[in-house]
Amino acid sequence: MSKNTFMMIKPDAVERGLVGDILKDITNAGFKIKALKLTQLSLSEAKTFYAIHSERPFFNDLTSYMSRSPVVAAVLEKDNAVSEFRNLIGDTDPSKASEGTIRAKYAISKGENSVHGSDSDENAKIEAEFHFSGREILF
């Protein structure tokens, strides 16, 4: 199990000024921030990042949403980082997310669910390398 995971605070949360609240929830849960940046994905970059979903009916809506305004990308560290972060953010559908999870607290809808968290150690590495150069991540 890797000690690192990748996460993004999505456009809906950045637009509503929730970056500080979400980062506080993350650090309060014991995660260390190893890399952090405010950035904006072009539509092409969003399509590349979410290519795994390219055949899904929601792909165009997802990539338009993810490229509409800035995101905050981060690499986080904690034992069992991927599963611990997935537990912290909660279900993709905020109406099904457990009380106290980030999505239960901040998400607008299943489509605008405020945060992305890697679903595997392999994807965490791929996604972190998509957003950060090696010199930007503190190990």
Give the whole-angstrom CA distance, residue 60 versus residue 91: 21
116 is catalytic: yes
Find the helix or strand (DSSP H, E) in which 130 lies.
helix 121-131
Give the H or E element holding residue 115: strand 115-117
Which of helix, strand or coil describes residue 8? strand
Given 10, 86, 103, 116, which residue is catalytic?
A: 116
Strand order of the β-sheet with 115-117 is 32-39, 71-77, 4-9, 115-117
Beta strand 71-77 with 4-9: parallel, antiparallel or unpaired?
A: antiparallel
Q: Which amino acids are annotated catalytic?
A: 116
